[in-house]
Amino acid sequence: MEKNTKVKLGLIGLGTVGTGVVKVLKDFDNIEITKIAVKNINKKRDIDNLDTSLLTTDPFEIVNDPNIDMVVEVIGGMDPAYDLLKTAIENKKHIVTANKELLAKKGQELFNLANQNNVVILYEAAIAGGIPIIMPIKTTLAGNKINKIEAILNGTTNYILTKMEKEGVSYEEVLKEAQKLGYAETDPTGDVEGFDSAYKIATLATIALNQRVDINKIYREGITKISAKDMQNAKELGYKIKLIALARLTQDNKADVRVHPMLVPVKDCLASINGVTNSVVLEGFPVGRVMFAGPGAGEFPTASSVLGDILAITNSLGSTDILPFMKCNHNKSAEQIDINDTTNKYYLSVTATNTPGVIGTIGEICGRHNISLASVLQKGIDEKNTAEIVVITEECKENDINSAIEEIKNNSTIVKINNLIRVME
């Protein structure tokens, strides 16, 4: 197309992010929104002078419109987003999307389809909201072999964990409050059970490790079992508890990708990421360790990333070639290891009867399973004459800690296994 004509953009979705996109695009004369697909055409919108003649309830009007150069999809979910984007790509439209679930589940297919049709899919907004992370990996860090990602990718859970930590209250209590304030959804499963983080780390790890990571093979554990006591214990031991999305290459180049809560040493920069903020730490060669942090969601931060992608496509529309950094084709499947084959440090909390030698018993059982203890904390004896015993192990195999726990559980001095949480080194 001619460089001086306006780029014609179709927007699918006019919720929080879509509204932000319309607002920020007002300042860009060279980009014209020609159609906006909405669910409810009569809903009042928080946009000044919105031209309601642009609205349609049929998103297929957009993906089939021959005049539209670029489709911006901000509805999320699989249906109808998957069909819409497939059709748009087949119709040779460039795509900007914030849809982490779709990318995690259908990324490979869509990226290959885009490649065949000589269009690009950009998705900076799908991972860590306003934080520039995909583009830096594809440009400045392009020459690196990245071997580790540690990230906080879900604002809702980080908000809940931060509140629990600062106020010493239970998960249930904070969740209720977060729901009232609109920080958590009525059905919070997607966030609190780690699905959202898993979608994001699937795509982020694919780009950073340069291998296609399968969402179905990502181990996932949420934050619902974290107690106020765990928070307190972690604090006493010099840690905070965060929901961490983790990806690393093992020495034999296998991918260890997972989402679960972790005790993070207070000195680690991720420990100081509070509230709804997101953060991504990358480790690689030659760069070493770099950190990115910022708003992981919200109308304007997300619109910032969508806008960056729109401009990248707009600016390259006159070029003959699609530059490598605009593509995302990772067809080499990662060999993902099972959580049982990983090694970790662990936080283990048990309730035991107040009998002499119970710590010794735990230590002895762990020892027999090749597990050394790094620290032990015994909490006050309660009215039932039981005590909470907390240990932090040295690095050991997940399989070994599981067998050790089976044995500890069956020991007569142990009343209850309270929690097992992995610990960041």
Report the interface residues with its own copies, using CB under 8 A: 20, 23-24, 27-28, 124, 130-132, 134-136, 139-144, 269, 272, 285-295, 298-301, 303-305, 307-312, 315-316, 318-321, 323-325
Q: Tell me how far, at minimum, the Cβ of 227 lies from its own copies, in Å.
A: 26
On whether the CB atoms of residues 71 and 34 are closer than 8 A, the answer is no
Q: Tell me how far, at minimum, the Cβ of 126 lies from its own copies, in Å.
A: 13
By C-beta, is 60 or 325 nearer to its own copies?
325
Residue 80, preceding peptide bond in cis (omega within 30° of 0): yes
Indicate if 86 belongs to the active site: no
What CA–CA distance (Å, rounded) separates 303 from 21? 5
On whether the CB atoms of residues 265 and 239 are closer than 8 A, the answer is yes
Q: Tell me how far, at minimum, the Cβ of 47 lies from its own copies, in Å.
A: 14
By C-beta, is 156 or 413 nearer to its own copies?
156
Helix (H) or strand (E) run with residue 103 in it: helix 100-116
Query: Assign residue 77 a region: left if phi > 0, alpha if psi is -120 to 50, beta otherwise?
Result: left
Q: Tell me how far, at minimum, the Cβ of 106 lies from its own copies, in Å.
A: 23
Catalytic residue chosen out of the listed positions 100, 163, 200, 242? 200
Nearest residue to 119 via CA among 328, 302, 311: 328
Bridge pairing between strands 145-152 and 94-97 = unpaired
By C-beta, is 310 or 350 nearer to its own copies?
310
Tokens of 280: 């991504």
By C-beta, is 280 or 391 nearer to its own copies?
280
Q: Tell me how far, at minimum, the Cβ of 266 lies from its own copies, in Å.
A: 10
Measured in degrees and rounded to the nearest 5, phi and psi for residue 225 equal -95, 0
- In the chain the first and final C-alpha atoms are separated, in Å, by 52
Q: Tell me how far, at minimum, the Cβ of 296 lies from its own copies, in Å.
A: 10
By C-beta, is 28 or 60 nearer to its own copies?
28
Structure-token match 């509070």, residue found:
274
By C-beta, is 311 or 420 nearer to its own copies?
311
Nearest residue to 151 via CA among 204, 227, 212: 204
Determine whether 123 is exposed, middle or buried from the number of CB atoms within 10 Å of its CB (0-12, 13-18, 19+).
buried
Total Cβ atoms within 10 A of residue 152: 26
Residues taking part in catalysis: 200
